[in-house]
Amino acid sequence: MAAEAPAVPSPVSPGGGAPSVPAPKASPPAPSRRGVPASRLALVALAAMLALWPAFKLHLGPANELRVRFPAAGWPLAGQVSFTVEKDAPPVLRPLTPVEVEQVLGDGIPAGQQEVRVQLPRDARSAEVTLRPLADLTVEQVTWFPLRGAVVSGPGVRELPFEQHVNPDGSRTVSVARLRPGFWNVDVADVLFAVTVWAFFWLVLEARWGQGRAAAFARRRSGWARYALLPLLSWGAWWLIFFPGIISYDPLVQWEQLQTGRLEDWHPAFHTFWLWLVGGPFGSLAPVGALQAVLFATVLGKVLEELGHWRVPAWARWGVVAWVTLSPAVGSNVIAAWKDAPFTLMCLAVMLLVLRAERRGGLRVADAAWLGACLACITLLRHNGPALSVPVLLLCLWRYGDRRARGTMVSVMVLLTFMVRGPGYALANVAPAPPVLKQVLLVHRLGAVSKDPQLPPEDARVLEELMPLEQWRKRYACLSVGPLVFGSPLQREKLAGRTLELADIAWRYAKRHPEQVWDQQVCVTRYVWAPEGDLYIGPFNGGGNTVDPNQVGVRPHSWFTPAQNFYEHVIFDSYGKHGLLRTLVWQPSSSLYAFVLGLVVVLWRQRSLGALLAVMTAVLNTLAWLLLSPNPDLRFLFPTVLLAPLLLALALAPRLRRGSDAVAKPGAPAAVEAR
């Protein structure tokens, strides 16, 4: 019989527990892919950028302006322009457009003078402008001005030599023999193009073939960047087509305040500081829309990445990307220079931070600092901002128990708010908001009072002191307070200190005619909840102009005129006619009902108030405009419009176990229930 093999003792763990299994013999490591040095990839990206730069310089962007300055005229002008592009080609002759002969005042032009600004190709060689009637006014200066951005090197903006003569018909002709070559003027647009395109190519190359920190950064950021790319391209196209952006009356007033140095808090001065910070170095409002497109795309991408951690289906996340990419209501508001765009951006950032805190089971100190900064911006960007930020702050203090995070959030919010509204406003010499702003809703109520056939004589006397009674009745419209305030003979200075007196008049009217007060409220808020209704979407006039008329030098200059015409006549025709398309695309009611549906489903599935806290800014914003709306503006409901598809996507997420990454890692142990 064969000898029995000696027994081999089983290995025992050091703690005396169950026997451990010996580790398998390590296999040799797989050969790693050899990366390309970062310096070589950077040079390849530089070569690609330089290859594209001439096409960008010569073919992309608005035309240059030939600016002709002369003493201010008190009559309308007309004329024509001829110019040459090729050396031996015949000149091109065309009449001046109404925008070109519009007499520009302000915008750095000395008092008593004005300019006409004629758009010409950037590679134009010579030009001849005829203006009539202008026989008695001598042209004093001619400049060749690039519109794409401030010139940082090259010939720059200089006075050009010119000749002028008076024609028999009373017109004056100005001839410029040589326009400075725009190609050698390196402007801010060139710099931004070079940096952006080079960085994009370099990061793509690093993510594919690189090694080291840059490659790790590129691969780590690809999670949210893939969601941000398509919206950024869409909103960037909006900005280029409607360059310098969607600019209505409010930002134009703020831009004028920055030019004169007389700031007023009618439009929140904090937003005026934002316009100065972004547009001031360029002398233009155009960078505002461009930067907002980048910021919106970045934050939206990170929110969608966070929804991936919540196990929202990929098709739902990409559905959100498709919707915000194609929606004109989103695109037009992203590039708009009004305060509602950064306000909505802060609401989106709050959603990101709260969702992240819910997934992690608590608010971390770094995220608390960001949340405090976002709440401070919400407080400062609108006069009704505290009605949103304070409740959200209190709910966060109740929801999250970490003392350091709570203290950081409160400290950052209070400190930033105090520093801006205290020393910041004092140093900038910001004038307080006039009484009419604080009483604008009351003025609207008084407009309804003026139509009362049973108006008491004492109340009629008070209204007469502010504005003739027939003007009250003529200008009143339940839809908007604007006609009563703007361009009216309202004695604004007499509103000071009379809030209680005027409120008492409105209260007595409400007791006499409660049904009239209700009808007015239904009328002025109809745009919020009704499928059809009057709605202001921006300064689109059907003629390619997305800038309100102004005297501060802000003019529309599309980079792609054919595309602009397409957008104007196809996309915005959907707004011009009432119907299903307008309801789905433009009316905020469709977004409101989608928002409510998504919120109900999320609360039912999550069994947690954390999801409600994530969108509480949009909820409170909607309620505020349902109670206190003065005009039917789409921009007021922009937070609801943008967050609605995100909330619908979140409704598809499985129930979150607070304090665990189970949603991000299927199969991980569940954590404690959410409160």
566-588 confidence digits (pLDDT tens): 777 777 777 877 788 889 889 99
Other CB atoms within 10 Å distance of the CB of residue 415: 13
Q: How confident is residue 182, by pLDDT bands cut at 50, 70 and 90?
A: low
Last-in-domain residue among 495, 524, 553: 524
So what's the pLDDT on residue 125? Answer: 86
Q: What is the pLDDT of residues 335-350, one digit of tens each?
A: 999 999 999 999 999 9
Last-in-domain residue among 524, 558, 573: 524
Tokens encoding 95: 């009449």
Share of the chain above pLDDT 70, in %: 90
Q: What integer is the mean pLDDT of 611-616?
A: 94
| In-domain check, residue 174 | yes
Domain check: are 176 and 258 in the same one? no
- CA–CA distance, 138 with 71 (Å, rounded to integer): 7
Q: What is the pLDDT of residues 202-211, one digit of tens each?
A: 888 887 787 7
- CA–CA distance, 373 with 385 (Å, rounded to integer): 13
Q: What is the pLDDT of residues 458-468, one digit of tens each?
A: 999 999 999 99
| In-domain check, residue 2 | no
Instruction: Considering only residues 541 and 165, tell me which one the structure prediction assigns the higher pLDDT.
Output: 165
Q: What integer is the mean pLDDT of 133-139?
A: 83
Instruction: Evaluate whether 496 touches 557 at the Cβ level (below 8 Å).
Output: no
CB-facing half-sphere around the CA of 625: CA atoms within 13 A: 26
Residue 11, pLDDT > 80, answer no
Residue 663, pLDDT > 50, answer no
Q: What integer is the mean pLDDT of 227-247?
A: 92
So what's the pLDDT on residue 640? Answer: 97
So what's the pLDDT on residue 62? Answer: 80
**How would you list the strands of the sheet with 126-132, edge to edge?**
92-95, 78-84, 126-132, 172-176, 163-166
Domain check: are 250 and 385 in the same one? yes
- Alpha-carbon distances, residue 178 vs 6, 141, 469 (angstroms): 104, 15, 61
So what's the pLDDT on residue 391? Answer: 96
So what's the pLDDT on residue 541? Answer: 67
Phi and psi, residue 462, nearest 5°: -65, -45
What value, to the nearest 5°, has the Cα angle with vertex 199 and ends 194 and 203? 155
| In-domain check, residue 183 | yes
Instruction: Evaluate whether 132 touches 172 at the Cβ level (below 8 Å).
Output: yes
Domain check: are 377 and 467 in the same one? no
Domain check: are 367 and 474 in the same one? no
Q: What is the pLDDT of residues 96-130, one digit of tens each?
A: 888 788 777 777 788 888 888 888 888 888 899 99
Other CB atoms within 10 Å distance of the CB of residue 152: 12
Q: Which residues contact 324 (CB under 8 A, 6 or more apart)?
A: 231, 234, 300, 330, 642, 645
Domain check: are 508 and 612 in the same one? no
Domain check: are 419 and 481 in the same one? no
Return the residue matching tokens 């990419």. 325
| In-domain check, residue 16 | no
Q: What integer is the mean pLDDT of 590-612?
A: 94
Share of the chain above pLDDT 90, in %: 51
Please tell me the total number of residues recorded for the chain in this structure: 675
Quote the number of domains for the chain. 3
What value, to the nearest 5°, has the Cα angle with vertex 545 and ends 539 and 546? 40
| In-domain check, residue 215 | no
So what's the pLDDT on residue 544? Answer: 60
- CA–CA distance, 661 with 584 (Å, rounded to integer): 37
Residue 12, pLDDT > 50, answer no
Is the Cα dihedral 188, 190, 191, 195 positive or negative? positive
Domain check: are 400 and 447 in the same one? no
Domain check: are 69 and 120 in the same one? yes
- For the ranges 15-19, 273-277, 530-534, the maximum mean pLDDT occurs at 273-277
Q: What integer is the mean pLDDT of 403-419?
A: 96
Domain check: are 410 and 447 in the same one? no
Domain check: are 399 and 500 in the same one? no
Instruction: Evaluate whether 615 touches 643 at the Cβ level (below 8 Å).
Output: yes
- Alpha-carbon distances, residue 182 vs 62, 120, 238, 239, 667 (angstroms): 12, 11, 25, 22, 62
Residue 666, pLDDT > 60, answer no
Q: What integer is the mean pLDDT of 175-183?
A: 79
Return the residue matching tokens 């001849």. 128
Q: What integer is the mean pLDDT of 23-27?
A: 51
- Alpha-carbon distances, residue 428 vs 269, 275, 431 (angstroms): 9, 14, 9
Domain check: are 238 and 324 in the same one? yes
| In-domain check, residue 199 | no
Average pLDDT, the chain: 86
Q: What residue numbers bound the domain in which 90 lies?
A: 59-187
| In-domain check, residue 18 | no
Last-in-domain residue among 524, 551, 573: 524
Q: Output b/e per residue, 629-658; b: 16+ Cβ within 10 A.
A: bbbbbbbbbbbbbbbbbbbbbbbbbeebbb
User: Residue 86 sits in a domain of what CATH number?
Assistant: 2.60.60
Give Rg (Cα) of the chain.
Answer: 31
Instruction: Considering only residues 282 and 599, tell me which one the structure prediction assigns the higher pLDDT.
Output: 599
Domain check: are 603 and 506 in the same one? no
| In-domain check, residue 545 | no
Phi and psi, residue 59, nearest 5°: -120, -10
Tokens encoding 34: 């050899």
